[in-house]
Each structure stands twice: as structure tokens, then as C-alpha cells.
Structure 1
Amino acid sequence: MSAFLRPADADEPPLTLLPDQAVYRPVSSHLAIAPPVSVVIPAMNEAANLPHVFKTLPDWIHEVVLVDGNSTDDTVRVARELWPGVTVVPQRGKGKGDALISGFAACTGEIIVMVDADGSADGGEIVSYVSALVSGADFAKGSRFANGGGTDDMTWIRRLGNRMLTALVNAKFGARYTDLCYGYNAFWRRCLDPLALDCAGFEVETLMNIRVAQAGLRVQEIPSHEYPRIHGDSNLRAVRDGLRVLKVIARERGAGRKRVPRPALLTGEAR
């Protein structure tokens, strides 16, 4: 059993001090973890969706970091009402990548989980991501197309584009992903240095996946189900966003970053 895991007694209080003084948080009746988990939620005018997002978050997480993209609605107020200890980070720049980078910098947990604010992600899946990390993975990558995953929110053109871009990244960077453009992921905070994120837009998710492969980090794909946005309109545009992803792939391929040989496959990793 990993040093980060031990059986949890369902009758124990929420926090338990073991002889080594590590603080363990019961995750289920069979699992407890020591590493604190931070959840980063980039949001702009998502007040109507946040109740659905926060309702699914497990109560054992260490902190929620909400990055507010200059919202003009009650996003910040609603977040504070729903999660009184929430850390609110005002976004200085623009774009999802910029928001995530700001949120990652504010995290104090050892494990960081990325969750969208539109209600499309089920926070109940976080336990699967964390379990993969404490079992040996460096990066737990959500996949809508791994066995057990699914999506209710992709048009055929986006599905086709994602499949083609995924195949391209796999061929060019030696990865074996089943899903490229998906924002539900988790990783150890120590991975931020090799990722060296420097992308402000939506394509940050592709950049992360490419640099994970280049750094030779241990990846485990997590089957995930994507639900439709609950309120509001999506900012995704298939052609525009596909071209931006292609530019990132070309830039990273031309940058000549040395790719570290991949470690042995982890159980459950996409093949």
C-alpha cells in the first residue's frame, strides 16, 4: 500500500492523526489520504452554474480556488456563500490558460484538480483522479473516450476534430491519449515546473498534455463523463479553437524540447 493510503474506518472523525502525525482525510469507507487536494475553478459570469458545481465537490478536499475572470454577475458572492473558505483569485489577464496559471500559483495543496465552472464535470469523479495519483501516477488525465467515459456535449465536428488532433499529438510526441481537448485533469503540484505553462487561451489543455508527454511523466487516463453546460452559452468554436490547438502542436514540435523516454505503463493507462 502506498505511503499516502491507509484503510479508513467509517466511524472515524473527518480528520485523524496517525502516529507519524500525518493528517489523513477519509475519502470513502475504504480509503484515506494524507496529501491535501486543491480544486481550481476558472469562472467568468458563472453564478447560475456554481451551485451545481459546488454541490458535487467532495467535502474532504483541502481547498477550492476560484479564479474570477472579471465577472459582472454574482459569481464571487455565490462562491463564497456555497464554500465559505473559498480562495478567490482575481484574474489579471484573459483566457482560460491565464486563469488556470493564476489558480495553480495560489494552490497550497499537494494535488491540484482542474474543474470547469459550467456544470459539465461531476466532482464525484475526483476520488478516481486522486486514487490514480496516490497509486503512482504523476498526471491523472480525464478522458471522455476511455472505456467507461462519455460526453453529452460534443457536436460531430468537435468529436471528429478532437479525434484527429489526438492522433496527431500521439504520433508526434509519443503519447497514447484517447482524448486531447478535455479540461478535467489532476496532477501533483511538483509537476508545474516541468510543465512550465505559458499559454493564455483554451489551448492550454493541449499544451499540458504535450508537455506531460515530453517530460516523461507517468499518466493514467480516468474515464470521465461530460455533461452539457447547464446555463449560458459556450465560448467554444470548433474551427477557431482547432486552429489554435494546431498552432500549439506545431510550436511545441518545432521548439525541439527533448522528450524523456516514457516510464512503464501504469495499470489502467490508455493503450
Structure 2
Amino acid sequence: MKIKHHLPEHPSFVTQTDGDGSASPGRAAHPLRRAGDRPPPRATVSLVVPARNEARNIPWVFEQIPDCVDEVILVDGDSVDSTVHMATRCLPTVRHVEQSGPGKGNALRTGFLSATGDYIVMIDADGSMLPAEIPHYLHFLDHGFDFVKGSRFIAGGGSLDITPIRRLGNLVLLAAVNHLYDAKLTDLCYGFCAFRRDFLDDLDLHSSGFEIETEMIAHALRSGLRIAEVPSLELPRRSGHSHLHAISDGRRVLRTLLSERPGARSAAPARRSPA
């Protein structure tokens, strides 16, 4: 049985006029916008993808990038394979930049400074994160949040890759950040995030390694940014070996949490986000 959909009989529902003058269904009018006014321009989106020897994974990742992304920045970490060539072949418009120093932190900071979009999204190049989830992150930025992070541990999220030792380490570090920063986060060590580029200075990033993801969250909390968590599914790396070292990187994350906690050192006054 087919179900017919009818347009709601509501005064806020308007019709848009095609070029020939005929009417076609349109979106609901904003209550403060007059008929005929143009909607505000859509925020532009930059996607930063740090990569080192990810030539076999880049095609799958780039094929999944949604149309809402306006700019893709590949930050290459001295790859010895065809990472850069594969990226430009899959997406001729990709912007390729060389990172300023070793480590994922340096790669991300290089990419952030090169981004021109209103929103910046960061994603790994190994195929463990779904680019199709990006619109969910943008939805929260569009609706007043300043920083959006993925969570594998809320309803709708999950992980097909996390090991028992990584899960245990995440729980310990998560408890630490929630205690030190008076927060209620559900995931910490996951690098699928998006934020308003206007707040890059507030994030005040200096880390060079994997701990940069924790530094971002710590500084966002300390600066009073409005943070949202969205469910995300972590997939297994599609090819190759991870550059993550659970024990040593976990220690660096913990040191970051302790050194960046409120009151641990003098910090510039936080700038509140616009209402």
C-alpha cells in the first residue's frame, strides 16, 4: 500500500517560484524572514586529512566524502608511497600541503592553518572513520555549537576496531578528563571532530603527536566552548598498520590532561562564543 504525502496546511509553508513563474513546493519560511528574502549563505566546510603512507586507503576515504564539503586538505607526513599521487588522482581539487614537523599534531595544526572554510572537520585517512557522518557534525555547528566530537560509546555509535587495552585506557583517561574538567563526556581518544574556524585561536594548539586530540578537547572545555557529542562508528583500518602506540601515547594524553587542567598554568581569558 502506498502512502501519499501531503503538504501541511500551515501559514509558514510557502512555495518557491521556478524560472518560468510556476509554483513548486518549497521549504518552511523563517518566521522573521519576509517572503522573497534569500536565505543566509551556507557555511563553507574544510576537511583536513592527515596522511602518512595511506595510498591504499585514500581512494575509499575520498569516495565517501559528501557534497557538503567545499575544500579537502591532504596533509602529507613524508609518505614514501603514492599517497599524494593517489589523492590528486581521486580528487583533482584536493589541496596538498606538507606538514611542518613530525607527528599527527603537527599535521593537523598545519592543515587547520591552511583551511579557509567556516567549519573545519578532521578525519583520519586510514578508512576507520565514515566521511558520510560529516553532515551530522555540521548539523550541530549549524545549530549553535562550537565544537563537535564523535563518540563511539553513546547510542548509535560503536567500534569494530578497539582492543581491550585501548578500551581500558580510554575509560581511565575519560574518567580523568571528566573529573579534572567537570565534564560529562562519553569518549576521549577519538579523532573525528569538527569546529568553527573562528575558535582556532581559543583551542591554542601546540601538541605534536596523537595527544593533540585531547589537547583540543581540554582547551575547548577550558575556554567554555559549547561542545556536542555525536554517535560515530569506528571501523577497522582498511589496510596497513596503525601509527598509534597505546602505552606511550596514553601517557602523553594523561600528561596533557594534567598540564592543561584549569588552574595548572596561567591561561588567557576565554572568549565566549557569539549567542
Match of 2:8 in 1: none
1:176 is the counterpart of 2:176: no
Aligned partner of 2:63 among 55, 58, 77 = 55
Structure 2 match to 1:151:
159
Per the alignment, in what secondary structure is the counterpart of residue 238 of structure 2? coil
**TM-score with structure 1 length normalisation?**
0.83
Please point out which of 91, 94, 119 is paired with 2:102. Answer: 94
Give, as a single letter, the amino acid of the residue that structure 1 aligns with 2:69. Answer: I
1:162-218 per-residue CA deviation (whole Å, 9 max, x = no partner) reads: 011011011101221100011000000011011110111100000001001001100
Contact 1:138/1:187 (<8 A) preserved: yes
- Residue in structure 1 matched with residue 223 of structure 2 by the alignment: 215
- Amino acid across the alignment from 2:259: R
Relative distance call for 1:261 and 1:107 in structure 2 (3 A) is closer
| Cα RMSD for the two superposed structures | 2.3
- Give me the whole-angstrom Cα distance separating, in 1, the residues matched to 2:63 and 2:167: 28
Paired residues for 1:234-249 under 5 Å: 234-249=242-257
Rounded to whole Å, the distance in 2 between the matches of 1:107 and 1:262 is 22
Note the alpha carbon deviations across 1:17-36, whole angstroms, 9 max, x for none: x955855xxxxxxxxxx001
**Residue pair 2:202, 2:271 contacting (<8 A) in 1 also:** no
Change (3 A) 1:171 1:124: same
Alignment of 1:98-109 (within 5 A): 98-109=106-117
Letter in 2 for 1:255: R
Structure 1 CA distance, aligned partners of 2:186 and 2:270? 20
* Alignment of 1:126 onto 2:131: no
C-alpha change, 1:258 and 1:145, in structure 2 (3 Å) is farther
Answer whether contact 1:214 1:258 (CA < 8 A) is retained.
no
Maintained 8 Å contact 2:202/2:270? no
**Structure 1 residues 62 and 153 mapped into 2: Cα distance closer, same or farther (>3 Å)?**
same
- Any runs of at least 4 consecutive aligned residues in structure 1 with deviations exceeding 6 A, and if so which? 258-263
What is the distance in 1 between the residues matched to 2:181 and 2:272? 11
Runs of at least 5 residues in structure 1 that lack an aligned partner in the other structure: 1-6, 13-17, 24-33, 264-271
- TM-score computed with the length of structure 2 as normaliser: 0.82
Indicate the structure (1 or 2) with the bigger Cα radius of gyration.
2
List gaps (5 residues or longer) in structure 2: 1-13, 20-35
